[in-house]
Amino acid sequence: MSLPPLPPAITIKPAKRIGLFFGSFNPIHIGHLIIAETVAQQPNINEVWFVISPQNPFKDDYSLLDAYDRLHLVNLAIEDNPKLRASKIEFDLPRPNYTIDTLTHLYDKYPNYEFVLIMGDDNLQQLHKWKNYEQILLHYHIIVYPRIGHATSQFDEHPKIQRLAVPLLNISATYIRQALSQNKSVRYLVHDKVWQYIQASGWWKRQQKTKKQKTD
């Protein structure tokens, strides 16, 4: 007895549509939060996840906080926003790790979710250098926010690319770290709770001291 023919394919609506915001967030600042909030307010996005990149064990970067410290700062900054979430999913993945590997792992862990990448113009210009970038463009939509000083890219007209109008704030995490190491205030550049925690911890001052001792 032969089986009946299969019914036409049915498109299943994902349980959630998640925007993935990758970065070191060293530290998370107001610019990051504005981008995430703008994406989270899109009608087809349920949540935005900050995917914190882990520390590279093979590179001595004394300005890079421990991954769990940066995770804590992100959680402090977003704890009152139910649409924003911090993710440490990359902390335990094999290294070197690439975005396509993280996306594959997320798909395995959350098969009913749809994931959307969030990136700046600068990263979009370099997308052709990413591992398996063709597969990323085939299977994932990308929301792109503007960056000062970055022109258009070869992917601007791609159907999976969505440009998003976000206020252009020239806030640099590098500037924030340098200011902190010089005992300058970065209040209003970071969330109040992040600022309070940084002041109490004195992380970057200690790291600058450690760096000086290592290089002397």
Q: Which has more confidence, 165 or 37?
A: 37
Closest CA to 21 of 62, 63, 74, 91: 74
Q: Which two tokens stand for residue 124?
A: 């979009």
Query: pTM of this prediction?
Result: 0.87
Confidence of residue 83 (pLDDT cuts 50, 70, 90): very high
Residue range 12-31, pLDDT digits in tens: 678 899 999 999 999 999 99
Segment 63-85 shows an average pLDDT of 95
DSSP output for 84-151? EEEE-TTTTS-SS--HHHHHHHHHHH-TTEEEEEEEEHHHHHTGGGSTTHHHHHHH--EEEE--TT--
What residues does each domain of the chain span?
16-170
Residue range 159-168, pLDDT digits in tens: 999 999 888 7
Name the CATH superfamily for 16-170: HUPs (3.40.50.620)
Contact 121, 147 (CB under 8 A): yes
Q: Tell me: pLDDT of 153 over 80.
A: no
Residues in the chain: 216
